[in-house]
Amino acid sequence: MRTYRVLVNHEEQHGLFPAELPLPGGWREAGFSGSEEECVAFVDRTWTDMTPLSLREAR
């Protein structure tokens, strides 16, 4: 079973990334890793507003 990490970018958008690979540029760890299903469930629970940060701040 592959392990994934949940990542967050500067716009607070979330993504899943294989845990064994180095972090891609512009992304940081969100503090959660697990199976793909576990990571998707974490993202569903925590990323409730998909509006990019820059647009939320402009409101």
What digits encode the pLDDT tens for the residues 6-50? 999 999 999 999 999 999 999 999 999 999 999 999 999 999 998
Going from the C-alpha of 8 to that of each of 1, 16, 17, 47, 48, the distances in angstroms are 23, 9, 10, 10, 13
Residue pair 17/9 in contact by the 8 Å Cβ criterion: no
Angle 12-38-26 from CA coordinates, rounded to 5°: 30
Q: Which residues contact 12 (CB under 8 A, 6 or more apart)?
A: 47, 52, 53
pLDDT reported for residue 58: 87
pLDDT reported for residue 59: 80
All domains of the chain in start order, with CATH: 4-58 (3.90.820.10)
pLDDT reported for residue 55: 86
